[in-house]
Amino acid sequence: MEYRAYNSKSFKKIPQIQQFLSSEDIENIEIAALVFPFKVNNYLIDKLIDWKNYQNDPIFRLVFPHKDMLLTQDFERLKTLYKKGDIEALNKAIYDIRMRMNPHPADQKSNVPTINDKELTGSQHKYKETILFFPKQGQTCHAYCSFCFRWPQFTGMNELKFAMKEVDLLIEYIKAHPTITDLIFTGGDPLIMSTKLLRSYIEPILKANIPHLQNIRFGTKTLGFWPYRFLTDNDADDLLKLFEEIVAHGYHLAFMAHFNHYRELETDEVKEAVKRIQQTGAIIRTQAPILRHINDSSEVWTKMWKEQVHMGMVPYYMFIARDTGAQHYFGIPLVEAWKIFKNAISNVSGLARTVRGPSMSAAPGKIAVSGVSEINGEKVIVLNMLQAKNPNLVDIPFFAKYDENAQWVDELKPAFSEKFLFEK
């Protein structure tokens, strides 16, 4: 299939949009898209979205912005300015709304590492074993998820964008840090890059032959959004060859696939792509956030994890949606997320119980909601750090006062203590 993408300006040309949506629905998308720019491609349109039921279709909800992602007064304000054609006031309103949405959560910027006084501005080294690398040309995706906290990067707010073009500094840095075992390519989506470009990042790393570096990971949504990247794109075969080379150099190639719903696992294309990736020796692990309107039921997760294991993939993380973007629309209370997780995991075999979560990627680390319990007559939420800046804090249960509505750790209060474990 030839890749074709549509955005806020061109989506009205999509035949299914013309056929199935009312003019009011179309206008609502146009207005929501002022704040949440979107991109959708022909694979999602032709193979994944169930247009007859588009209003409740999880894939439609995943990629098209929705009116309710804006607060009513914001939506009405934008609509008025949009209809008036008052561009200056409109742009200001858009900017204000975006700024209120906390576009740079969990101090992503505070972990910029340095080597010999030079900043690796496209990297993040938060946990001693792993370094994240954001290749400059990998800062976009084959389509955009409507909930994505990376949207500031895609909307021309350049002061918030971090990316890096040179891999040499990165190699120097990894060499100087023997605790690093994992290098994670992330984005956006690093597999949006041509194989040639990706190769220009990977080959120097392979040549550098750093003994303590063991695992190379790609964090990617390409399997779900554009499986042809591994099938029929011009450089698909070369990409798989590059994977083979990484494996042949002795690395564990960890393909971290983002799947939000079991429906993304159902096409022949995705099934074939998974097989081809696995044949290179790569191991595919899966992760996704839990989101209202998209996957807020245990049945969805049970079915998704079961199918992933059936396809030879390894369920890895369930995340809590970040405290950013349209949190009021996608957000799920921590207690509810845990109940969904618990019900889902209790209906799969041990092979799918590799998954951990639901987890918040917060400033001090990854905090999992392990459950709800009662201690000395007090109802509490049990938390546990899966990852921490301070590794001594990992895997020690700690407690928050029960709160049915809290959606993020900063809304919780410690129980039996003045401070949370990670604040001490």
Ligand X SMILES: *Cc1c(COP(=O)(O)O)cnc(C)c1O
Cα gap 348→286, rounded to integer Å: 15
For the CA atoms of 138, 143, 146, 151, what is the dihedral angle to 10 degrees? 30
Residue 338 contact, options ligand SF4, ligand X, none, Cβ 5-8 Å cut-off depending on partner type: none
Residue nearer to ligand SF4 on the CB measure, 224 or 315: 224
Q: Is the dihedral of CA 300, 306, 309, 314 positive or negative?
A: positive
- Least distance to ligand X from the beta carbon of 36, Å? 23
Interaction between residue 322 and ligand SF4 (CB under 6 A) = no
Residue that is written with structure tokens 């392979």 in the block: 206
Interaction between residue 124 and ligand X (CB under 6 A) = yes
**Binding region for ligand SF4 (CB under 6 A) out of 140-148, 168-176, 269-277, 365-373:** 140-148
Residue 224 contact, options ligand SF4, ligand X, none, Cβ 5-8 Å cut-off depending on partner type: none
Considering only 61, 126, 150, 199, the residue that binds ligand X (CB under 6 A) is 126
Name, in order, each residue with C-beta under 8 angstroms of 198's C-beta and a sequence gap of 6 or more.
135, 190, 191, 239, 242
User: How wide is the angle at C-alpha 152 spanned by C-alphas 147 and 158, nearest 5°?
Assistant: 165
Cα gap 133→316, rounded to integer Å: 20
Q: Taking CB under 6 A as the rule, which mask of x and - marks residues 132-161 in contact with ligand X?
A: x-----------------------------
Residue that is written with structure tokens 């929501």 in the block: 32
- Least distance to ligand X from the beta carbon of 82, Å? 37
Check if the beta carbon of residue 361 is closer than 8 Å to that of residue 374.
no
Considering only 61, 98, 125, 221, the residue that binds ligand SF4 (CB under 6 A) is 221
Interaction between residue 148 and ligand SF4 (CB under 6 A) = yes
Count of positions on this chain that bind ligand X (CB under 6 A): 9
Residue that is written with structure tokens 């040179």 in the block: 166
Cα gap 154→222, rounded to integer Å: 17
Residue nearer to ligand SF4 on the CB measure, 93 or 290: 290
Considering only 301, 366, 409, 420, the residue that binds ligand X (CB under 6 A) is 366
Cα gap 59→50, rounded to integer Å: 8
Residues forming the site for ligand SF4 (CB under 6 A): 141, 144-145, 148, 150, 187-189, 221, 258
